């Protein structure tokens, strides 16, 4: 699917390419790192107490389910569903769960479902700030810096410069928007 006005072409657009598994893995590393760092912030920030363990594990589950949420509710509407042209490999994965849906609905599905995963970027920051207000821990501070660096800078950069830079539907793809 090319979500562009008829007759318009992207000057930076390159031929659709197939990604290797190594490229797909590379594209997923910042997201995986974000989930791990976020869970560590919640765990260490709450002094490894039961509530911290519960929040930390819940965050990892949320991050995992969030990816599946996109795979289930968005990828079947994507042009790259079932192909090796999805930079993160979700498009191939989605085939195991749902059949191909109307590509015309992709934009609407994105708008509807993207808010579901946005809290992944926010929850650890709030948890870390609250923790630091009560106890200025160097470890939590370092984890916070790494989390912000990864999720707010590296992750969007990897998508924009590496995986999806020339994708014709980059303006509406969930990963491009939130990464």
Binding mask 20-49 for ligand SF4 (x = CB under 6 A): ------------------------------
User: Is residue 78 part of the contact set for ligand SF4 (CB under 6 A)?
Assistant: yes
Complex with ligand SF4: residue 59 or 90, whichever CB lies closer = 90
Residue nearer to ligand SF4 on the CB measure, 28 or 39? 28
> 177 exposed, middle or buried (CB, 10 Å; 0-12, 13-18, 19+)?
middle
Phi/psi at 123 (nearest 5 deg)? -55, -50
Contact between 86 and ligand SF4 by CB under 6 A: the answer reads yes
Q: Which of 43, 53, 44, 98 is nearest to 75 (CA)?
A: 98
Q: Of 27-35, 38-46, 80-88, 133-141, which segment contacts ligand SF4 by CB under 6 A?
A: 80-88
Q: Which is nearer to ligand SF4, 34 or 78 (CB)?
A: 78
| The dihedral sign for the CA sequence 177, 32, 25, 84 | negative
The count of other CB atoms within 10 Å of the CB of residue 14 is 10
**Residue from 19, 59, 62, 90 that binds ligand SF4 (CB under 6 A)?**
90
48 φψ region: left (φ > 0), alpha (ψ -120 to 50), beta (else): left
The answer to the question of residue 155 lying near ligand SF4 (CB under 6 A) is no
Closest to ligand SF4 by CB, 52 vs 174, is 174
Stretch that binds ligand SF4, among 9-17, 33-41, 50-58, 169-177 (CB under 6 A): 169-177
1's CB contacts (< 8 A; 6+ apart) are 77, 78, 79, 103, 104, 106, 168, 169
The site for ligand SF4 (CB under 6 A) is made up of: 74-75, 78, 80-81, 86, 88, 90-91, 173-175
């Amino acid at each position: 699917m090319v979500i562009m006005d008829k007759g318009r072409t992207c000057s930076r657009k390159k031929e659709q390419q197939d990604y290797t598994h190594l490229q797909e893995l590379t594209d997923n590393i910042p997201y995986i790192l974000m989930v791990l760092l976020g869970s560590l912030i919640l765990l260490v920030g709450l002094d490894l107490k039961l509530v911290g363990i519960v929040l930390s594990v819940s965050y990892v589950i949320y991050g995992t389910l969030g990816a599946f949420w996109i795979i289930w509710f968005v990828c079947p509407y994507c042009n790259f569903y079932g192909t090796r042209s999805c930079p993160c490999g979700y498009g191939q994965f989605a085939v195991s769960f749902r059949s191909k849906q109307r590509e015309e609905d992709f934009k609407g599905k994105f708008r509807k479902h993207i808010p579901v995963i946005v809290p992944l970027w926010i929850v650890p920051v709030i948890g870390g700030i609250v923790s630091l207000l009560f106890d200025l821990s160097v470890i939590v501070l370092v984890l916070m810096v790494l989390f912000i660096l990864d999720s707010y800078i590296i992750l969007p950069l990897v998508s924009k410069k590496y995986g999806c830079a020339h994708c014709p539907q980059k303006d509406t793809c969930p990963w491009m928007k939130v990464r």
